[in-house]
A and B are shown apart, each in its own frame.
Chain A
C-alpha cells in the first residue's frame, strides 16, 4: 500500500481536508473467450507477433465482423455478477479515430445502447461496507499493440495485431468513490467478482485488466462536482492509488493557488510519479459514433439471460455469508476463505471429507495458506489435497495425535505429498493415551520439582500448567493432554 497523500504532500493536512475527492473508475476487462469477438482467431497471449490474425481482424477491405456469441454470454455473466440489468436489446456502434493499432479506423463498441446498466458492487474498507454504483457494462473489440521500442530502426514503430479483436467488457462506475483506498478496494472487489465468474483472468501484466480513473475534487459540503480529469495508464493496483493520490493533490494545489481545473486527459507516468497532460492533438477527439451497420442489434432473450444466471457460480458476498452461517466461520475467516473461488472450494471439500468447519478454517489459515504463500503456489496446486487435510484434522480431533504433532505432520505432508497416517506410522508420532507411560513421566516431573508441588498444594493453581507442559515435553508432545490432566490431578491431590 502506498503512503497516504498527506505524508508526501507539500499541502498541509488541514488544506487537503477541506476538499472531498470524487472518483469514478472505467475498467476494461478482457473476456476469456477462446476466439476473438468478431472473427475466429485465437485470443492466446504470448504467441509470435501477428500469428493470430485473419482478414477480418486485420480490417482488410471488404471484410465484415461476425459477433462471437460466447463473448456476449460472458458479458451477460459479468453484468449479472455486478448486479446490472441486462438489456434485451443492445447494439454496437463505431467509434471513429485514426491510430495504427486500429486497423479499421474505428473501434466497434457499444455506445448509446450498452449491454447492461444500473448495477453496483459492495466494497469493504476499514471495516465499513459501502455500495459503489455501476453505470454500465458494454462490449467492444480491443485494439492491437503498438510497439515503439526494441527495434534496430529507431524511427520505426511496429504493430502486433494478435491482441486486436480480443473481446473487452468496459465497466464504468458511478462517481461514488471518495478516496484512493476505496478505489483500490473497488478494483480489488471487481477483480474478485470477474475471477469468480471466470469471465476474465484479470491479469494486469498481460493487459487483461486495465483501469482509467475520472478524478475531481470539491469543497466538502459542496453539491456540485468539480471539473473532472481522466487519468489513464493505471495498469497496476499500486499505480492506481498513487496516481489518484497525486491527481487529487495536484487539483487541490491548483485550486488553492487560485487556478482552475480543465477537463482533460492525463497520463500517469510511473517513472516521474506524476500525471502528465496528453497532447492536445491526442485528446481532441470527436469519435463520431454511429450504429455499426455491419452487425445486427444484439438480442439477449429473457430465457437466455436466465439460463446464464442459473449457471452462475455463487458470488463472494453470498459465499462469505454462507460460510458464516453454515460452518460457523468468523466473518474474518469467511473473507479469507472466499478470497478466491478455489479457496472456497478447497475449504468445502475439506469439510465434506469430514473435518469440522471451524478446524478446517483454522488449519487452512494457519498452515496451508501460509505454506502456499511461502512457496509461491496457488491453492489449485496444493501438494496437500483437501481429503488429506481432512484426514489429518480427524486424527487430531480423535486424539490419535496432538495438535502440536499435527503441525509437524502437516509440514511433512506439504513437503512430500504423503498421507498423514503414513507419516505418523513411519515416525512413531502416534499420541500416547496409555496412562502407565504418562504416569511414569508425571511422577518423574513431580519428584524433580518439590517447590512447585508445595506451591500447588498451597493453593497456587497456576502452577498446574507448568506440570502439564513438563509432562508434554517429556512425552515429546505425543501425550493426550486430557490424560495428562487426569493423571496429574490424581498424583498431586
Chain B
C-alpha cells in the first residue's frame, strides 16, 4: 500500500485511529529500506528518536488530546542541520564521525509541532553544489528520472519527498539549494525571507545567505512546515522579531488582480527551450486567473553570480575554519600543529569545498578585499535595490527556477563554472534576502520536471504561498 501521505492525511488517519504514529513511522522506514539503496538520499536514520516521538504522538491520540500541527508527520532533515545524538556530516569526510551535542532550533520546533524525524539526508558537501554530486558519500539519484541529478545542494531532501520516503523535509538554501532541487524533483520547495527561520544549528556555509526551508508534496504542506519552524529565536541575532502571519489563512485568498512582474533579464538566451515553453505556459495560467502581468527590468541581475560567489566563498572560508581536527570530526596527525591542520583539512574536504575556501580566502586577502569583497557587497546592495524597486510595482516576481531541466549525472562535473550557472535565477533572491518558492510547472516530454519560481517582498511569504497555491490548484504541475 503506497499511500501518498500528506500532513492532513496523516492527521486524519491518526485521529480516526486508522494508523498509529508508530505504524506510520515503521512504514516509512520500510519504504526507506527498500528504496534508499538505489537513491542514496538518506545518510543516517534516527529510528530510536523517531520511535520515541511517535510514542508521544500516539499517547496524545490515546488520551484524546489535541494534536499539534505536524503530529506524527514523518520528516527528513538535510545533513547540515545539527541533530543531537544523530550523525551530522554535512556530506563531508571531515565530519564523518561527528555526532552533535545539541539540536538546531528548527529541529526543536519540528518536534514541538509533533513531527517525527526519520533521519538525515544527503547533500553536496557543506551545501556547496547544484547537483548533489559533491557529497563525500556519493550522489543522490533523481527519483523522477534515475539517470538525472536531483539538484543541489539539498538533493537528498528533495529526493526523499519526491520518492515518498518522507512526507516533508528540511533543506537549506544559500544560492538556490532548496528551490533548484525542488524544481528538479518536481515538488514545491521554499526558502522564507532571510531572518524568518532561525539558523541556530544550521552548519554555516555562507552566514548572510543561508536559510532553512521546507520541501513537501503540496504548497499547503510547505506552508504548514514553514509555519512550524518560522519565528524569532533569541539564539539567532539575525532572526526577525516580526510576527509570523497565519500562512494557511492568508494563502487561500484569491489572486485575481495581483500584479506579477516578469523580469526580462531572466528570459535571456541560454535558457533551455523546453523550460521556456513550460514557463510561458505557466504564465498563461496566471493570466487566466486574472493576474496582471508586468514586464520588469532588474538591471543588476547579470552581476548576481559573480557577486554571489565572492560573498558566499568569503564567508565560507571563515565558517569552515573551525574544522581543524582539534576538537571533533576527522583528525589526521602531522609532525606539527600546522602539519596536523594541513593533513586533516587536506584529507577531510572535497575538491569543490577546497576550491571555494581558496577563492574565499583570496577575496578577503589584504590588497584584494576592496576590489572583491567590498565591491561584492556594494553590488549586492544594488541587487537588493532592484528587488525593492520592483516590489513598488508588482506583488511578486515570476521567473524560471533553473535555466535547464535536470541534467544527467556526471554531465557537468568537469566544469565548475558551468555548474555555477545552474544557480543563475536563484542567487538574486538569495542576495536580496527575499522569500522564494519553486512550484512544479509541468514536465518536458512528460519526463523532466520544470520549476516556476516566485519571489515576494521581504517577509511576504504569505503572498508567495498564495500565488504558488493558486498555480498548483489550477493545473500548474501538468502544463
| Cα separation A288 to B368 with both chains bound (whole Å) | 10
Total A-B pairs, Cβ < 8 A:
102
Asked whether B263 is an interface residue with its Cβ less than 8 Å from the other chain, the reply is no
B69 smallest CB distance to A (angstroms)? 25
Q: Does B201 contact A (CB under 8 A)?
A: yes
Contact among B88, B101, B317, B321 with A55 in the assembled complex (CB-CB below 8 Å): B101
Q: Which residues of A contact B200 (CB under 8 A)?
A: 62-64
Chain B residues in 8 Å Cβ range of A281: 338
The reply on A66 being an interface residue by CB < 8 A is: yes
CB neighbours of B201 from chain A (8 A): 62-63
Q: Is the C-beta of B208 less than 8 angstroms from some C-beta in chain A?
A: yes
A293/B315 contact (C-beta < 8 A), A64-B200, A66-B237, A286-B365 known = yes
Interface of chain B residues 320 through 364 with chain A (CB within 8 A): 320-324, 326-328, 337-338, 341, 361, 364
Binds B, one of A102-110, A357-365, A414-422: A102-110
B318 near A96 with CB under 8 A, answer yes
Q: Judge if B203 is at the interface, Cβ distance under 8 Å.
A: yes
Query: A61-B203, A290-B369 known; A94 and B88 CB under 8 Å?
Result: no
Residue in B closest to A106 when the chains form the complex, CB atoms: B318
Chain B residue at minimal CB-CB distance from A39: B235
Is residue A294 within 8 Å, beta carbon to beta carbon, of the partner chain?
yes
A296 interface contact, C-beta 8 A = yes
Identity of the chain A residue whose Cβ is nearest the Cβ of B321 in the assembled complex? A105
Q: Quick check: is A396 within 8 A (CB to CB) of the other chain? A: no
Size category, B interface? 35 or more
Q: Is the CB of A294 within 8 A of B322?
A: no
CA distance A106 to B317 in the complex (A): 11
Do residues B203 and A62 form an inter-chain contact, with CB atoms below 8 A? Answer: yes
Contact B237–A65 (Cβ < 8 Å): yes
In the assembled complex, A253 has its CB within 8 A of some CB on chain B: no
Q: In the complex, what distance in Å separates the CA atom of A418 from the CA atom of B454? A: 84
Q: Which residues of B contact A65 (CB under 8 A)?
A: 237
B366 & A105 in contact (Cβ 8 Å cutoff):
no
B-facing residues in A38-95 (Cβ within 8 Å): 55, 58-67, 94
Q: Is the CB of B82 within 8 A of A61?
A: yes
* A-contact 0/1 string along B201-212, CB 8 Å cutoff: 111101110000
Across the interface, do B337 and A100 meet the contact criterion of CB distance under 8 Å?
A: yes
CA gap between A388 and B102 in the complex, in Å: 57
For the residues of B in contact with A, the DSSP-based class is loop
Q: Which residue of A lies closest to B326 (CB)?
A: A100
What is the CA–CA distance of A58 and B327 in the complex, to the nearest angstrom?
Answer: 9
Q: How far is the CB of B360 from chain A (nearest CB, A)?
A: 9
Asked if A98 is at the interface of the complex by the 8 Å CB criterion, the answer is yes
Do B237 and A294 touch across chains, with their CB atoms under 8 A apart?
yes
A287 to chain B: closest CB distance in Å?
A: 9
Q: Are A61 and B364 in contact (CB under 8 A)?
A: no
Q: How far is the CA of A251 from the CA of B98 in the complex (A)?
A: 51
Q: With an 8 A cutoff between CB atoms, is A321 at the interface?
A: no
A95 CB, min distance to chain B CBs, angstroms: 10
A159 interface residue (CB < 8 Å to B)? yes
Residues from chain B with Cβ under 8 Å of A446 in the complex: none
State whether B315 touches A66 (Cβ < 8 A).
Answer: no
B373 within 8 A of A: yes
Q: Is the CB of B361 within 8 A of A59?
A: no
Set B199, B327, B341: member contacting A98, Cβ < 8 A: B341
Bound CA–CA A293/B237 (angstroms): 10
A295 near B: Cβ within 8 Å? yes
A-chain residues with CB within 8 Å of residue B341 when the two chains form the complex: 98
Question: Could you tell me the distance in whole angstroms from the C-beta of B424 to the nearest C-beta in chain A?
Answer: 23
- Beyond A288-B361, A295-B237, whether A62 also contacts B81 by CB under 8 A is yes
- Chain B, residues 264-280, CB within 8 Å of chain A (1/0): the string is 00000000000000000
User: Quick one: closest A residue to B361, CB to CB?
Assistant: A288
Chain B nearest CB, measured from A147 CB (Å) = 14
Take A61-B95, A294-B238 as given contacts and tell me if A104 and B199 are in contact as well, using a CB distance cutoff of 8 Å. no
- Cα-based distance from A196 to B88 in the complex (angstroms): 49
Chain B residues lying within 8 Å of A106, measured Cβ to Cβ, are 318, 321
Cα distance A295–B341 when bound, in Å?
28
**Contact in complex: A286, B366 (CB < 8 Å):** yes
Contact A105 B318 (CB under 8 A): yes
Chain B residues, Cβ within 8 Å of A62 = 80-82, 100, 104, 199-204
A205 vs B80: C-alpha distance in the bound complex, in angstroms?
42
By the criterion CB–CB under 8 Å, are A290 and B322 in contact? no
Q: How far is the CB of B375 from chain A (nearest CB, A)?
A: 13
A159 to B328, CA, bound (A): 13
Q: Does B314 contact A (CB under 8 A)?
A: yes
Binary per-residue interface labels of chain B (99-114) against chain A in the complex, 1 for a CB within 8 Å, 0 otherwise? 0111010000000000
- Per-residue interface assignment for chain B, residues 192 to 230, with 1 indicating a CB less than 8 Å from any chain A CB and 0 otherwise: 000000011111101110000000000000000000000
- Residue contact A288 to B317, C-beta cutoff 8 Å: yes
Q: Does B236 count as interface, using CB distance less than 8 angstroms?
A: yes
What is the number of residues of chain A that contact chain B, defined by CB distance less than 8 Å? 29
Asked whether A66 and B235 contact (CB < 8 A) given A55-B101, A55-B102, A98-B321, the answer is: yes
B109 → A minimal CB distance (Å): 15
A104–B321 CB distance below 8 A: yes
In the assembled complex, how far is the CB of residue B133 from the closest CB belonging to chain A, in whole angstroms?
A: 23
Least distance between B419 CB and chain A CB atoms (Å): 24
- Pairwise interchain contact B235-A64, C-beta atoms closer than 8 A: yes
Residues in A neighbouring B369, C-beta threshold 8 A: 288-290
Chain B residues whose C-beta falls within 8 Å of the C-beta of A64 in the assembled complex: 199-200, 235-238
Nearest to A67 among chain B residues (CB) is B237
**Shortest beta-carbon distance, B46 to chain A, in Å?**
17
Which residues from B are CB-within-8-Å of A296? 237-238
Q: Is the CB of B207 within 8 A of A293?
A: yes
Most A Cβ at <10 Å: residue of B81, B104, B321, B327: B321
Q: Which B-chain residue is minimally distant from A101 (CB atoms)?
A: B326
Q: How far is the CA of A60 from the CA of B328 in the complex (A)?
A: 9
Contact status B101-A60, CB under 8 Å:
yes
Q: Is the CB of A105 within 8 A of B322?
A: yes
A293 vs B337: C-alpha distance in the bound complex, in angstroms?
29
- Name the B residues within 8 Å of A105 (CB-CB): 318, 320-322, 324
Q: Tell me which residues across on chain A come within 8 A of B199, comparing CB atoms.
A: 62, 64
Contact call A61/B100, Cβ cutoff below 8 A: yes
With A61-B203, A104-B321, A294-B238 as known contacts, state yes or no: A288 contacts B365, CB within 8 Å: yes
A158 to chain B, nearest CB (A): 11
Q: Per-residue 0/1 for A447-469: is the Cβ within 8 Å of any B Cβ (1 yes, 0 no)? A: 00000000000000000000000
Chain A CB within 10 Å, residue with most, of B81, B98, B324: B324
B254 touches A (CB below 8 Å): no
Q: How far is the CA of A469 from the CA of B26 in the complex (A)?
A: 106
CB-CB under 8 A from B314, the residues of chain A are 290
| Contact mask for chain A residues 421-443; partner B; CB cutoff 8 A; 1 contact, 0 none | 00000000000000000000000
Indicate if B234 sits at the interface (CB-CB under 8 A).
yes
Cα–Cα distance between A98 and B338 once the two chains are bound (Å): 9
A59: chain B residues at CB < 8 Å are: 322, 327
A288: nearest chain-B partner, CB-CB: B364
In the assembled complex, the CB of B70 is this many whole angstroms from the nearest CB of chain A, namely 22
Do B322 and A103 have beta carbons less than 8 Å apart?
yes
Residues of A within 8 A of B204 (CB): 61-62, 294
Which one of A281, A286, A294 has the highest number of Cβ atoms from chain B below 10 Å of its Cβ?
A: A294
A contact residues around B324 at 8 Å (CB): 98, 100, 105
A290 with B237: CB separation less than 8 A: no
Supply 29 A–B pairs (Cβ within 8 Å), ascending by A. A55-B102, A61-B82, A61-B90, A61-B95, A61-B203, A61-B204, A61-B323, A62-B80, A62-B201, A63-B102, A64-B236, A65-B237, A66-B234, A66-B235, A66-B236, A96-B318, A96-B321, A100-B324, A103-B327, A105-B320, A105-B321, A159-B326, A288-B317, A288-B366, A290-B314, A290-B318, A290-B373, A293-B207, A294-B237
Closest 4 CB pairs of A and B: A105-B321, A288-B364, A293-B207, A293-B208
A residues apposed to B, CB below 8 Å: 55, 58-67, 94, 96, 98, 100, 103-106, 159, 281, 286, 288-290, 293-296
Known: A96-B317, A293-B238. 17 other contacts (CB 8 A): A58-B327, A59-B322, A61-B98, A62-B199, A63-B102, A64-B236, A103-B326, A286-B365, A288-B317, A288-B318, A288-B365, A290-B314, A290-B315, A293-B206, A293-B207, A293-B315, A294-B207
